[in-house]
């Protein structure tokens, strides 16, 4: 279990992380979502020991890691959102280089490199120059590099950005395999639906603060609840309906499109039934009443833009 507690990070006077807390259970494939500038990279770099926090703690299996960088480096792997330039190294040489950084040489390094190349589907590119690899292949090589020391937890910063659908699919399959091997994987993106397809749970960061966290089922449910209720009544009763809805504390906003009213509603299913019942007992002829299918994208936008207006 990784527990991030009350992290703060300033860049000059700018507060990039503002009391950021998050728990990720062992073996999870966790999606870390936020708009550009929300603080994802900052959080990840602190968690892997590349950046100092101004306050807060990171615990792995109960042990405070920010004071023990060596222990932290053993536990975590990091795949940054950029790929460094390495002149004239083959994929195999590239991994040997990183293996040597962990004191792995000779036959051990050879077999580790083969194993990792196999894991990321690059065996056929073993002797290909790194600069000659496609973007998706470079990304996978970077992933292999992050696994050289066999960490329990792997952080990947926006690995899917800029990949074509095929490369993205391949990446997803590899991450699922790693997850099945028992690794904890934390993967960031600025696109919620992209992560929802493969993650077990998701956390949303906005302005350096965690605003929503849940299992993928919970996030889908929240998305469904975030979409408006559609109510169709006869046009001559619209004013009456507006007057009734105005009194309902769960009705945030009503807009009319012809005889269809779109209601932003924050109550529960029971509150929804009570509202419908109230309309009917007030002699409103309700022609239809249903909730639009909620999309993850609209949920994400609602959370982020809702907070921007505050």
Ligand X SMILES: Nc1ncnc2c1ncn2[C@@H]1O[C@H](COP(=O)(O)OP(=O)(O)O)[C@@H](O)[C@H]1O
Residues making contact with ligand X (CB under 6 A): 11, 14, 16, 34, 36-42
41 lies in the binding site for Mg ion (CB under 5 A): yes
As measured in angstroms, the least distance from the Cβ of 16 to ligand X is 4
Cβ proximity to ligand X: between 188 and 227 the closer is 188
**Can you read off the two tokens belonging to residue 142?**
């970077």
Cβ proximity to ligand X: between 46 and 251 the closer is 46
Cβ proximity to ligand X: between 158 and 170 the closer is 158
42 lies in the binding site for Mg ion (CB under 5 A): no
Binding segment for Mg ion (CB under 5 A), chosen from 41-49, 110-118, 198-206, 242-250, is 41-49
Task: Tell me the Ramachandran region of residue 162: left when phi exceeds 0, alpha when psi lies from -120 to 50, beta otherwise.
Answer: left
Strands 63-64, 55-60: pairing kind: antiparallel
Residue 47 DSSP one-character state: H
Positions 21 through 40 that interact with Mg ion (CB under 5 A): 40
State the binding partner of 184 from Mg ion, ligand X, none, CB within 5 to 8 A by kind.
Answer: none
Are 78 and 50 within 8 A, CB to CB?
A: yes
Question: Half-sphere exposure of residue 36, counting CA atoms within 13 Å on the CB side?
Answer: 2
Cβ proximity to ligand X: between 10 and 126 the closer is 10
227 lies in the binding site for Mg ion (CB under 5 A): no
* Sequence-ordered strand ranges (E) for the chain: 2-11, 14-24, 29-33, 55-60, 63-64, 76-79, 153-156, 184-189, 201-206, 209-215, 229-233, 251-257, 260-265, 286-291
As measured in angstroms, the least distance from the Cβ of 155 to Mg ion is 12
Residues that bind Mg ion (CB under 5 A): 40-41
């Amino acid at each position: 279990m990784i527990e991030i507690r009350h992290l703060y990070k300033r860049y000059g006077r700018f507060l990039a992380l503002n009391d950021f807390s998050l728990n990720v259970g062992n073996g999870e494939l966790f999606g870390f979502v936020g708009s550009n500038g929300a603080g994802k990279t900052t959080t990840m770099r602190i968690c892997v020991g590349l950046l100092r926090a101004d306050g807060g703690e990171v615990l792995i299996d109960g042990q405070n890691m920010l004071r023990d960088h060596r222990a932290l480096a053993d536990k975590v792997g990091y795949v940054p959102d950029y790929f460094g330039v390495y002149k004239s190294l083959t994929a195999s040489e590239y991994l040997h280089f990183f293996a040597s950084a962990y004191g792995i040489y000779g036959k051990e390094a050879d077999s580790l490199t083969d194993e990792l190349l196999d894991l990321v589907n690059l065996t056929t590119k073993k002797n290909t120059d790194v600069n000659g690899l496609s973007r998706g292949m470079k990304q996978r090589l970077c992933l292999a590099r992050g696994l050289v020391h066999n960490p329990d937890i792997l952080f990947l910063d926006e690995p899917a950005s800029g990949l074509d659908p095929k490369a993205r699919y391949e990446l997803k399959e590899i991450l699922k395999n790693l997850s099945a091997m028992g690794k904890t994987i934390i993967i960031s993106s600025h696109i919620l639906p992209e992560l929802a397809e493969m993650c077990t749970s998701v956390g949303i960061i906005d302005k350096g603060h965690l605003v929503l966290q849940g299992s993928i089922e919970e996030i889908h449910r929240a998305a469904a609840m975030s979409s408006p209720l559609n109510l169709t009544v006869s046009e001559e009763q619209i004013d009456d309906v507006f007057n009734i809805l105005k009194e309902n504390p769960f009705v945030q906003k009503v807009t009319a499109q012809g005889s269809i009213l779109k209601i932003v509603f924050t109550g529960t299913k029971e509150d929804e039934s009570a509202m419908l019942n109230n309309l009917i007992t007030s002699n409103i002829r309700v022609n239809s009443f249903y909730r639009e299918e909620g999309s993850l994208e609209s949920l994400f936008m609602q959370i982020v833009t809702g907070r921007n207006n505050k």
